[in-house]
Amino acid sequence: MMYRVCSRPGLADDRFRGATSWRPGILGAGLALLLLVTAGCGAHAQGGSPTETSVATPSPTPHRAPIAYSPGFDRDHLFPFMVVHFAAGTPYADALRAVVALGLQTVGQCDGSGFGVTGGAATMSTGTRWHPVGEIAGYTPTPTTTTGPALSVHATPLAAPDWLDQLDTSPLVASLANQVFFCADRGVDPTPVPGQIYFLTEDHAGGYVRVRFARSVTYDEALSAVNDLGFRLADPCTERAQPKPAWHSPDEGQAYAASGALVLATTGANSTGWLDQVRAAPGVTSVETPYAAAC
């Protein structure tokens, strides 16, 4: 808010000094000037020259969620997985949309115990039996847990360059943990078992798929279903563009409202039976694979 502070000069003001004689003309001019300044300032004017003073309102301190790091890791050297603890009462759909809109994907920390880290990249152990990765069942705290709802995530090719800054300033996020975790391999078959589905190896991932849903299926429901199966949202044209365009959110909410379809990519979190799984997902009406986007 701007406050105007007015004052009127006195006869001792420097603007009135230096007169060598006292003549009526000079006195008349001085009185006229005095009346003019006084009228401009109003009945509450006090001594001094007219000034304007700006009074700044302090900005509120931005929200910053605390981040815990394992030894050897920091903001510039991150472990590939981030555990995002959300504020109590945050619905799963809101939490999932928040991370997916930043180009992140849930990984299901230790659920299947097949994730490893090789050269800074998240991979699955060969022959690891597949399990859902959406963390739907484990999202809601139980009476015995000490933390709020949480999702374990990692960055996809469409992740925002500043995704960590956006996460820790989000009002939905209570805290973050970038900590190394070790999971003993469970459900790993040295030799594939007939009829068993396994996590997709990275050399078989990366294909584009378009999945269309019935109109009765909401965006949140569709997103939850495909995320749980290990898909990520995809934008083939942006991913292939050279030079890379400025980042924009991969969120497909508006496009889904118009088309009822999601454009996805397979990842190492999918299963070897991903096509049969997505075709059988509730509300799915068609699956186009491979999907060729018109860029």
Average pLDDT over residues 263-289: 97
Residue at which a domain ends, from 27, 54, 81: 54
- Mean pLDDT score across all residues of the chain: 79
Same domain, 20 and 152: no
Q: Which residues contact 225 (CB under 8 A, 6 or more apart)?
A: 281, 282, 283, 284
Same domain, 105 and 21: no
Q: Is residue 293 part of a domain?
A: no
Beta strand extents in 143-276 (DSSP E only): 150-155, 173-178, 208-213, 232-233, 261-265
Q: What is the pLDDT of residue 112?
A: 40
Same domain, 149 and 270: yes
Residue 10 has pLDDT above 50, yes or no: no
pLDDT confidence bin for 113, thresholds 50/70/90: very low
Q: What is the pLDDT of residue 173?
A: 97
Q: Is residue 132 part of a domain?
A: yes
Whether 230 and 267 have beta carbons less than 8 Å apart is answered as yes
Q: Is residue 184 part of a domain?
A: yes
What's the number of domains the chain is made of?
2
pLDDT tens, residue by residue, 25-34: 433 444 343 3
Same domain, 34 and 86: no
Q: What is the pLDDT of residue 126?
A: 62
Same domain, 210 and 131: yes
Q: What is the pLDDT of residue 3?
A: 31
Same domain, 50 and 74: no
Q: What is the pLDDT of residue 110?
A: 54
Q: How far apart are CA 72 and CA 54, in angstroms?
A: 47
Same domain, 49 and 160: no
Q: How far apart are CA 257 and CA 206, in angstroms?
A: 25
Same domain, 116 and 217: yes
Q: Is residue 295 part of a domain?
A: no
Same domain, 45 and 161: no
Q: Is residue 294 part of a domain?
A: no
Average pLDDT over residues 103-128: 58
Residue 94 has pLDDT above 80, yes or no: yes
Same domain, 147 and 97: yes
Same domain, 32 and 153: no
Residue at which a domain ends, from 12, 29, 54: 54
Nearest to 224 by CA among 262, 173, 279, 170: 262
What percentage of the chain has pLDDT greater than the value 70?
69
Average pLDDT over residues 274-292: 98
Angle formed by the axes of helices 92-100 and 219-228, nearest 10°:
70
pLDDT tens, residue by residue, 216-242: 999 999 999 999 999 999 999 999 999
Q: Lowest mean pLDDT: which of 37-51, 70-84, 85-99, 272-286?
A: 37-51
Q: Is residue 59 part of a domain?
A: no
What percentage of the chain has pLDDT greater than the value 90?
60
Domain residues for the domain of 166 are 67-288
Same domain, 89 and 180: yes
